[in-house]
Structure 1
Amino acid sequence: MSASSAALSPTAAMLGLSIREVSLALRDGRVSATELCRKCINQIQRTRYLNAFITITEETAMEQAQRADNRLRTGKPLGPLDGIPFSVKDNFCTENIETTCASSMLKGYVPPFNATVVQKLLDQGAVLVGKTNLDEFAMGAGSTDGVFGPVRNPWSYTSLYREQSTEDPDSDWAITGGSSGGSAAAVASLCSFLALGSDTGGSTRNPGSLCGVVALKPTYGLLSRHGLIPLVNSMDVPGIMTRSVHDAATVLRILQGRDERDSTTVQAPSTPPSLPEHFDIRNICVGIPKVQLHSDRPLGDSSSVLLTSRVAAMFEEAGARVQEVSLPHTQHSIVCYSVLCCSEVASNMARFDGLKYGHRSKVNSSTDAMYATTRHEGFNNVVHRRILSGNYFLLKSNFERYFVKAQQMRRLITEDFKNVFRSGIDVVLTPTTPSDAERYSDFIQADNQTRSAQEDVFTQPVNIAGLPAVTVPTALSHRGLPIGLQLIGQTLQDWKLLTVAHWMEQKVNFPMIHLTRTIGS
């Protein structure tokens, strides 16, 4: 992102630095890890109205920052993330820190271990400042359905957005997208330099686009899912949210690789030490889908259509080859995803029975009564609906008709992408979301499942095929809200994908956020 440092306060200027820049500042002694951590904690407190955080880990964060200062003073930092504050979506297990999935079912659950990706960040000296808000059990596209309330988009509190609105800021605010909306808001509002999210059908890229941050969904299996409370095992991927593509690449290098506790992980391919600052885009072929990714819905509003065309022209003018590609079966991805998602949800949610951990009903007239009442009290209607739908799809009489057909369609969607990349395409360019962020009052008029199908139309096929994809913040809409575009890469070609994304990021020059409101203002 670009920023005019003269227009920013010293605190905002420091918090708006990239990971690479702030890491250098830590090593040069221009700021200490404890000072940096305190700035982030204070920023979280100043932006409490966003509701981005469920838990603030102030005490442990300051302890971690102090240890980082000790290493920095002796000239022995652990790596590029030593002393860097980060946040984690509250569906990743964190040792001795409550993990709720924004659900009554898990209120009070304190895991005895860290998720692998969390542990890798801590091993690098990164400082955990908090757990971020989400849709309950990551089921949603707005971050509006968690038990702790909806997350507000930080761009709703910029001067450009407020100039377009005559309503009170407390009633006229935009959603963040979901389900990793808290993580996106934390990065966008300068509360942390990076955040972990989870991506099952677009849950990092969607809020990344709407909140103006870089959101990377790596190749399935490149990052460990151990300690990520599952939604859909065959599609879940830990996602990375940062304010620059280079920062996302730095975090990816640290998190990727095999994990003996996750049998789906793969060996990370060898990569250069960093992304190239100057890249010859003339060697790249960019694919533009010539058919809509959902036949019953337009490609997006006029702004996202024009933006996609403009960026495609930018690639072409710079010497890249741009050509139309065919992805005929992706128009069925929403139906396919819905069946597979609900089926796996029904299986995964069975573990929450009130016996081992989490909420337990006081009803104890019988075991069955305790099970039923526990699940009725612990889950919201969104989770109930997906469990019931999944159990229906998995009935013996329905299994072939729904689940098997969905798996067959998944294979065809995957083959569509393989055929595109076999033809010489390096990356595919699409919108990330159909439009910029909706007003909360408008968004909640439709039910969760309908909104998820609408908002994830461009992102779901990527998870079905297990491919890497990244959202790059590209421009502001006429309402002053971010619009991001998505680049999709080949399996395990995450580094090439990020190289192209870095080139694109440099060309579009997305602006830095300028918040106009803090608590008390």
Structure 2
Amino acid sequence: MLRASLRQISLALKEGRVTPTELCQRCLALIRSTQVLNAYITVAEETALKQAEEAEERYRRGYVPPYNATVVQKLLDQGAVLLGKTNLDEFAMGSGSTDGVFGPVRNPWSYSRQYKEKVASRSDSEPENSNWVIAGGSSGGSAAAVSAFTCFAALGSDTGGSTRNPAAHCGVVGLKPTYGLISRHGLIPLVNSMDVPGILTRCVDDAAVVLGTLAGHDPKDSTTVQDTFQPFALPSLTDVSKLCVGIPKEYHVPGLSSEILAVWSKAADLFKNAGAKVVEVSLPHTCYSIVCYHVLCAAEVASNMARFDGLEYGHRSDVNKSTESMYAATRREGFNDVVRGRILSGNYFLLKQNYEDYFVKAQKVRRLIANDFVKVFGSGIDILLTPTTLSDAVPYVEFIKEDNRTRSTQDDILTQAANMAGLPAVNVPTALSGRGLPIGLQFIGRSFQEKQLLTVAKWFEKQVQFPMIQLEEVKKYDNGVLQHQESASYS
């Protein structure tokens, strides 16, 4: 039942073949049996069960939830059950979900039959982190939770790829909507001008269902567009002969693995053989995108993190020698090295003597990047097809050898430009690597053309028939010893 789509499970609920409480209990049970993934920070078991009971009552007398972020509120208004909060990099600053205060998220595919058949098995006496791979980030917990069947959909955020990156590594669909289509009210800001709530599901149809619930103007967020959003059901595309697919040549970046390149090329051939027009296009300023992003990101982080001063918001230090010392201790204790580093960099870029050379120039480059997309789509291109990540998910022990900034630069390089331009983009799981790990490809569409974007993604999803994860035995790490936990095996 946990493998069903949102449409299928919604029908089952309406027809009474399963109750919200039964469904909630199954999700919670699987969450408990997959704790080793570290996907959830908090499992709100009592709250979830209470909401499930209230959801059953909703069919009879309605349900009014408490205050929440707009995206959460909209889901609750439609009878969704909130299972818990998922794990992520601290303040969403990372690309591996390895820098959070609750520890790293483990990729469910680390415990799949497909992966274990490809790598040498290790004994329980070996170090915990010797074999499992990262979930991607920053919304790694959400991607891992969906991938492991512990929930049907999850929310993330996407500032430079934080929804699409973990979606690619965990073998799920990750949608970054057009900037302004979904309310940011309640989303802790990282880069206000690029942040968007992201959607993670196991199929494209489900992403469209969630989008239909979340999209639309919100008076509490002045950046949301005021045009009325009409939810849509995705058609089953059978003819792609009128479709023009662009392949940006600048996305052949250094570090792109041969496996990703092969999957990308095969996907382009798939469209071409089906009758679509596939052409190489140029986005000449893409190569400057990641540098531009780091300047703008740090500058906005410095501004946004200023609110966490220990007086009104966030952690407050016990140091009370002076206001200045309290501030310094509070922010040293309350932020990890990654967050502190971005704050310091941002304040440097925003200094009066540096403002024009860094922040203003970065904004000008951002406009050039956005204009590149306008020109390409204006030339008759309907959709862009690119890789999502440079490679499949890497082992944790390899990932942490690089510092956060270096890793983010590498991992966001293929996703970040869409944020600069505010365009919708979606990761679609495409194939398994030689190690038995997911490889995803990214589709980028025109602004506010999510229906076209997801329709093409759905057609592609049907063609590639990405295999469902086959979870084997999941183990729990406890007191320095790997212990067997309840087996989670699926056919």
TM-score under structure 2 length normalisation: 0.93
Structure 1's 168 and 379: CA in aligned 2 closer, same or farther, altered over 3 A? Answer: farther
Structure 1's 233 and 272: CA in aligned 2 closer, same or farther, altered over 3 A? Answer: closer
Indicate the residue corresponding to 2:208 in structure 1.
249
Indicate the residue corresponding to 1:290 in structure 2.
249
**Aligned partner of residue 472 in structure 1, secondary structure:** strand
Indicate the residue corresponding to 1:10 in structure 2.
none
- 1:393 paired with 2:393, answer no
- State the alpha-carbon separation in 2 of the partners of residues 278 and 363 from structure 1: 63
**How much does 1:271 deviate?**
4.6
- State the alpha-carbon separation in 2 of the partners of residues 283 and 223 from structure 1: 30
Conserved in 2, the CA contact under 8 Å of 1:293 and 1:330? Answer: no
- State the alpha-carbon separation in 1 of the partners of residues 316 and 472 from structure 2: 44
**Percent of aligned pairs sharing the same letter:** 64
- State the alpha-carbon separation in 2 of the partners of residues 122 and 279 from structure 1: 35
- 1:127 paired with 2:81, answer yes
- 1:55 paired with 2:42, answer yes
Conserved in 1, the CA contact under 8 Å of 2:307 and 2:313? Answer: no
**How much does 1:272 deviate?**
6.5
**How much does 1:77 deviate?**
8.8
Indicate the residue corresponding to 1:362 in structure 2.
318
- State the alpha-carbon separation in 2 of the partners of residues 428 and 249 from structure 1: 19
2:30 to 26, 30, 43: 43
Indicate the residue corresponding to 1:137 in structure 2.
91
Indicate the residue corresponding to 1:65 in structure 2.
52
- 1:149 paired with 2:103, answer yes
Which aligned pairs between 1:75-90 and structure 2 lie closer than 5 A? Answer: none
**Aligned partner of residue 427 in structure 2, secondary structure:** strand
Cα shift readout 1:481-504 (whole Å, capped 9, x = no counterpart): 000000000111111101110111
Conserved in 2, the CA contact under 8 Å of 1:241 and 1:248? Answer: yes
Conserved in 2, the CA contact under 8 Å of 1:151 and 1:175? Answer: yes
**How much does 1:65 deviate?**
1.0
- State the alpha-carbon separation in 1 of the partners of residues 231 and 334 from structure 2: 47
Which aligned pairs between 1:229-248 and structure 2 lie closer than 5 A? Answer: 229-248=188-207
Q: Aligned Cα RMSD in Å?
A: 1.7
Cα shift readout 1:175-202 (whole Å, capped 9, x = no counterpart): 0100000000000000110000000000
Conserved in 2, the CA contact under 8 Å of 1:469 and 1:486? Answer: yes
Structure 1's 369 and 293: CA in aligned 2 closer, same or farther, altered over 3 A? Answer: farther
**How much does 1:71 deviate?**
4.0
**How much does 1:268 deviate?**
4.8
Return structure 1 stretches of 4+ with deviation > 6 angstroms: none
**Aligned partner of residue 443 in structure 2, secondary structure:** strand
Indicate the residue corresponding to 1:207 in structure 2.
166
- State the alpha-carbon separation in 2 of the partners of residues 26 and 58 from structure 1: 20
- State the alpha-carbon separation in 2 of the partners of residues 358 and 308 from structure 1: 44
Conserved in 2, the CA contact under 8 Å of 1:293 and 1:331? Answer: no
- State the alpha-carbon separation in 1 of the partners of residues 259 and 206 from structure 2: 28
**Aligned partner of residue 454 in structure 1, secondary structure:** helix
**How much does 1:279 deviate?**
3.9
**Aligned partner of residue 398 in structure 1, secondary structure:** coil
- State the alpha-carbon separation in 1 of the partners of residues 317 and 217 from structure 2: 39
- State the alpha-carbon separation in 2 of the partners of residues 291 and 492 from structure 1: 24
- 1:17 paired with 2:4, answer yes
**How much does 1:25 deviate?**
1.4
Counterpart amino acid of 2:119? Answer: S
Conserved in 1, the CA contact under 8 Å of 2:173 and 2:203? Answer: yes
**Aligned partner of residue 446 in structure 1, secondary structure:** coil
- State the alpha-carbon separation in 2 of the partners of residues 306 and 236 from structure 1: 31
Q: In terms of mean alpha carbon deviation, does 143-152 or 262-271 score higher? A: 262-271
**How much does 1:270 deviate?**
5.1
**Aligned partner of residue 251 in structure 2, secondary structure:** coil
2:425 to 461, 465, 469: 469
**How much does 1:281 deviate?**
1.5
Conserved in 1, the CA contact under 8 Å of 2:366 and 2:420? Answer: yes
1:118 to 65, 72, 87: 72
**How much does 1:379 deviate?**
0.4
Conserved in 1, the CA contact under 8 Å of 2:245 and 2:385? Answer: yes
- State the alpha-carbon separation in 2 of the partners of residues 205 and 342 from structure 1: 21
Conserved in 2, the CA contact under 8 Å of 1:160 and 1:480? Answer: yes
Conserved in 2, the CA contact under 8 Å of 1:343 and 1:387? Answer: yes
- 1:191 paired with 2:178, answer no
Cα shift readout 1:337-395 (whole Å, capped 9, x = no counterpart): 00000000000000001001321100001001000000000100000100000001001
Which aligned pairs between 1:338-417 and structure 2 lie closer than 5 A? Answer: 338-417=294-373
- State the alpha-carbon separation in 2 of the partners of residues 55 and 65 from structure 1: 17
Indicate the residue corresponding to 2:478 in structure 1.
none
- State the alpha-carbon separation in 2 of the partners of residues 445 and 56 from structure 1: 31
- State the alpha-carbon separation in 1 of the partners of residues 440 and 275 from structure 2: 22
**How much does 1:168 deviate?**
4.5
- State the alpha-carbon separation in 1 of the partners of residues 265 and 241 from structure 2: 18
Structure 1's 128 and 505: CA in aligned 2 closer, same or farther, altered over 3 A? Answer: same
**How much does 1:461 deviate?**
0.2
Indicate the residue corresponding to 2:136 in structure 1.
177
Counterpart amino acid of 1:137? Answer: F
Conserved in 1, the CA contact under 8 Å of 2:260 and 2:439? Answer: yes
Unaligned runs of 5+ in 2: 476-484
- State the alpha-carbon separation in 2 of the partners of residues 64 and 292 from structure 1: 45
Counterpart amino acid of 1:58? Answer: E
Conserved in 1, the CA contact under 8 Å of 2:215 and 2:229? Answer: no
Cα shift readout 1:83-109 (whole Å, capped 9, x = no counterpart): xxxxxxxxxxx96xxxxxxxxxxxxxx
**How much does 1:31 deviate?**
1.3
Counterpart amino acid of 1:467? Answer: L
- State the alpha-carbon separation in 2 of the partners of residues 482 and 64 from structure 1: 34
- State the alpha-carbon separation in 2 of the partners of residues 516 and 251 from structure 1: 29
TM-score under structure 1 length normalisation: 0.88
Unaligned runs of 5+ in 1: 1-13, 83-93, 96-112
**How much does 1:517 deviate?**
1.8
Indicate the residue corresponding to 1:109 in structure 2.
none
Cα shift readout 1:107-160 (whole Å, capped 9, x = no counterpart): xxxxxx411000000000000000000000000000000010000000000112
**Aligned partner of residue 283 in structure 1, secondary structure:** coil
